[in-house]
Amino acid sequence: MALLCGGSLASLIQLTPLMRALRERSPHLHLLAVVRTDTAPLLQETDLVDRLLALPPAAWTGGPRAWLPVARSARRWVERALLERPTLCGVAWDHSPRLARTGGAWLCRAGVPRRFGFIGEPAGLFTHVLPEPKPPAPPHRGTRHEALRLRSLMNALGLHGFECSPDIALRREERQWARHALTEAGLDPSRPIVAVNPTADHRLKEWPAPRIAELLDRLAEDAQRVILAWGPRARRAGRVVPISSGCPDTVGIPVLAATRDPRELAAILARCAVLVTGDADPMHLATAVGTPVVALYGPTNPEWFGPLGRQHQILRHPVACSPCAHDERVPPCPNRHACMQGLETEPVLRAVRAALRARATAPAGHTGCEEAARTRPGG
């Protein structure tokens, strides 16, 4: 069986419950995963897949002049991998039409007989086109969360009754590495740690640096604090410096410059009591390891990708134009980024303190995500 995911790290994280269910239902099934090079470390050296094929992003989405030879090479690599062992079923997980067509075309050319996807055009690309999940019935709010799309896929594959919550199983050495990294940064892993992620893939999804500095300052007596520097180096430096200079008390707060390995960041987040973040990869990693999240949403819709579970809190500043999914590649926001600029420090502070109180009063060994902890082997 082949699973194709050319989307972001968040999209691949959403697919991990399917991999776990396939492993439990059919332990002898050979599972091939075709992903992007920047998301592949999430699955490396794990038992979720038997073979991992990592392709550059240009192979999925196109791009500069080098795109055509990259795409041709990628097509040959995928077809060779699919033909090396009899592949009777393939899934193109991506909802984006461009990515879905790319994955579906690879499956077609390799002659995979059962092809599951989420787009109906062009006709014949997928033998099983899964319908768009229906919105929740009133009085429940929401449009459609990615968990509903995953449930639709798992039902189509006969995987009924399996959990759809993302779950990353950390190895013992990864947990030990995280403990050592926090200790080296001057933190005590046995005491509560509040992690703050100031970056996102789009600038307009980031909370203003002065607000982050104020939050860190006011949390000085509540818990240990750490700034996570995740993302491209220029974006990390551009965000961390204003935060450190925005408040004198934040100068001594350690900054963990996480590598591009998402598993290392997940191990660090598993040691934290709560994460404050915008709509970014660390949010999805934290939910997958059971760490409570205070998620700050602005231009994007939490009812599609937001964290699920009572231990997580989603904060928004209501404005008529949100969600709009704007980013820096489109004309400037006509409302001066009001959805994130209008989100004050006080409600975020209350949410963090509520998460810390919940942790302090929880039974021994309870992380706030006990169901995920029970299903995570080798922890």
* Residue 298, phi then psi, degrees to nearest 5: -135, -90
Residues 45 and 179 in one domain: no
Residue 36 and residue 103: Cα distance in Å, rounded?
A: 12
Chain centre distance of CA 83: 31
Q: Which of 12-26, 64-78, 156-170, 285-299 has the lowest mean pLDDT?
A: 64-78
355 has a pLDDT exceeding 90:
yes
Residues 139 and 211 in one domain: no
- Measured CA to CA, the distance from residue 103 to residue 94 in angstroms comes to 8
Q: Which amino acid is at 1?
A: M
Query: Which range has the worst mean pLDDT, 64-68, 92-96, 124-128?
Result: 64-68
DSSP track, 330-377: SSPPTTTTHHHHT--HHHHHHHHHHHHHHHHHSPTT--S-HHHHHH-T
For residue 4, give the H/E element and its range.
strand 2-4
In angstroms, the CA 84 to CA 102 distance is 20
Q: Which helix (H) or strand (E) holds 6?
A: none
Same domain, 101 and 190: no
Q: Give the pLDDT score at 126.
A: 94
The pair of structure tokens assigned to 198 is 């100031």
Q: In the prediction, which pLDDT does 60 show? A: 85
Angle between helices 262-270 and 281-288 (to 10 degrees): 60
8 Cβ partners below 8 Å, 6+ apart?
39, 201, 281
Q: State yes or no: pLDDT of 133 exceeds 70.
A: no
Q: Is residue 163 part of a domain?
A: no
Q: How far apart are CA 149 and CA 169, in angstroms?
A: 22
How far is Cα 137 from Cα 308, in angstroms, rounded to an integer? 18
295 inside domain? yes
- Same domain? For 216 and 148 the reply is no
Last residue of a domain, one of 109, 125, 156: 156
Same domain, 217 and 326: yes
pLDDT at 370 over 60: no
Q: In the numeric block, which tokens belong to residue 177?
A: 């590495």
Same domain (yes/no): 199, 149: no
Q: Is residue 161 part of a domain?
A: no
Q: Where are the beta strands (DSSP E) in 58-133?
A: 89-92, 114-117, 128-129
Number of structural domains in the chain: 2
Q: Is the pLDDT of residue 143 over 90?
A: no
The CATH number that applies at residue 248 is 3.40.50.2000
Q: Of 11, 196, 13, 4, which is closest to residue 87 (Cα–Cα)? A: 4
Single out the residue of 18, 77, 92, 10 nearest to residue 48, CA to CA.
18
Question: Domain for residue 135, yes or no?
Answer: yes
| 105: containing domain | 2-156
Q: Give the whole-angstrom CA distance, residue 39 versus residue 49.
A: 14
Q: Is the pLDDT of residue 26 over 90?
A: yes
How high is the pLDDT of residue 135?
A: 56
Report the candidate in 311, 302, 313, 312 with the shortest Cα–Cα distance to residue 145: 302
Residue 228 dihedral angles phi and psi, to the nearest 5°: -95, 120
Q: Is residue 112 part of a domain?
A: yes
Does residue 45 belong to any structural domain of this protein? yes
Residue 137 has pLDDT above 60, yes or no: no
**Do 220 and 368 sit in the same domain of this protein?**
yes
Are residue 294 and residue 362 in the same domain, yes or no? yes
- For 331-340, the pLDDT digits (tens) are 578 888 889 9
Task: Determine the straight-line distance between the first and last CA of the chain, rounded to whole angstroms.
Answer: 27
Residues 208 and 274 in one domain: yes
Interatomic CA distance for residues 270 and 339, integer angstroms: 29
Residue by residue, DSSP assigns 177-226 as HHHHHHHHTT--TTS-EEEEE---SSGGGSPPHHHHHHHHHHTTTTSEEE
Q: Could you tell me if 93 and 134 lie in one domain?
A: yes
Same domain, 194 and 126: no
| Residue 302 in domain | yes
Q: Is residue 162 part of a domain?
A: no
SS3 140: coil
pLDDT of 215 strictly over 70 = yes
What confidence score (pLDDT) does residue 255 get? 84
pLDDT at position 202: 81
Q: What is the pLDDT of residue 367?
A: 42
User: 281 and 244 in one domain?
Assistant: yes
For the segment 305-311, the average pLDDT, to the nearest whole number, is 88
Domain end point (choices 156, 187, 203): 156
Mean pLDDT of 365-371: 40
More confident residue, 117 or 365: 117
Asked which of 92, 121, 156 is the last residue of a domain, the reply is 156
Exposure on the CB side of residue 338, measured as CA atoms within 13 A:
9
pLDDT digits (tens, 9 = 90+) for 50-90: 999 999 888 887 644 445 677 778 888 888 888 888 889 99
Is the pLDDT at 365 greater than 90? The verdict is: no
Q: Answer yes or no: is pLDDT of 164 > 70.
A: yes
